[in-house]
């Protein structure tokens, strides 16, 4: 079995049903949740959005939300003041230009306030099953430990190497699996190396 086959089969074994852990019921809620998740845990985002989306249950209502109220609701998140402004601006743009829906268009998404490549890829992959990768800290750490990428590689380079490594038909699935693997098992500090079937090929 090649290293690639070993890695992919082990991910399937450990996390066959991995999914996006950000909670949402509408497409714009996912977009906002992903934007809020920058430098913040999904758990903290879910705590904030549970309150935010209950108080402002439609994109139209969020577009006219009180800035200071939004800041108060998400105040435990990193960079909350900037993020609060972006929440309202995103909602306004979606209402004005896309009838409150999230466009299936990379350039349109990148033009929204606070939306970068990672957020764009995550939203398109989750909502529209586009074969794209969201490269977060877990994805970066896994790539370097598994020898898929080098320590000095940029996020862009790591993404390119993953696209060569992971079969296209399972990109979205494997993205979630690696994030779960890094979040719950192969942690930055105190990874569970003793029980890991990949320890023989790990570069850590």
Looking at 27, 83, 120, 136, which residue is catalytic? 136
- Residue 153 falls in the annotated catalytic set: no
- Residue 55 falls in the annotated catalytic set: no
Task: Tell me how many helices (H) and strands (E) the chain has.
Answer: 11, 0
Q: How wide is the angle at C-alpha 137 spanned by C-alphas 22 and 135, nearest 5°? A: 75
Angstrom CA distances, 158 to 95, 109, 134, 142, 193, stand at 35, 22, 11, 10, 23
Helix, strand or coil, per DSSP, at residue 147: coil
Q: Which tokens hold the place of 81?
A: 């003041």
Rounded-to-integer distance, Cα 6 and Cα 150, Å? 19
Within a 10 A sphere around the Cβ of 140, how many other Cβ atoms?
20
Looking at 118, 120, 144, 173, which residue is catalytic? 118
Question: Which positions are catalytic?
Answer: 118, 136
């Amino acid at each position: 079995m090649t290293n690639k086959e070993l890695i992919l089969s082990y991910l399937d074994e450990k996390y066959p049903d991995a999914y996006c852990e950000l909670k949402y019921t509408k497409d714009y809620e996912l977009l906002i949740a992903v934007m809020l998740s920058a430098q913040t845990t999904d758990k903290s985002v879910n705590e904030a959005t549970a309150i935010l989306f209950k108080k402002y249950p439609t994109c139209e209502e969020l577009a006219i939300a009180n800035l200071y109220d939004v800041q108060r609701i998400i105040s435990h998140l990193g960079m909350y003041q900037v993020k609060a402004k972006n929440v309202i601006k995103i909602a306004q743009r979606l209402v004005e230009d896309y009838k409150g829906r999230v466009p299936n268009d990379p350039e349109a998404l990148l033009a929204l306030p606070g939306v970068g490549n990672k957020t764009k890829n995550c939203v398109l992959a989750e909502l529209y099953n586009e074969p794209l990768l969201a490269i977060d800290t877990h994805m970066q750490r896994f790539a370097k430990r598994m020898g898929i990428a080098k320590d000095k590689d940029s996020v862009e380079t790591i993404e390119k190497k993953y696209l060569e490594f992971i079969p296209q038909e399972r990109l979205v699935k494997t993205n979630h699996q690696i994030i779960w693997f890094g979040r719950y098992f192969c942690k930055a500090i105190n990874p569970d190396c003793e029980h890991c079937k990949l320890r023989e090929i790990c570069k850590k």
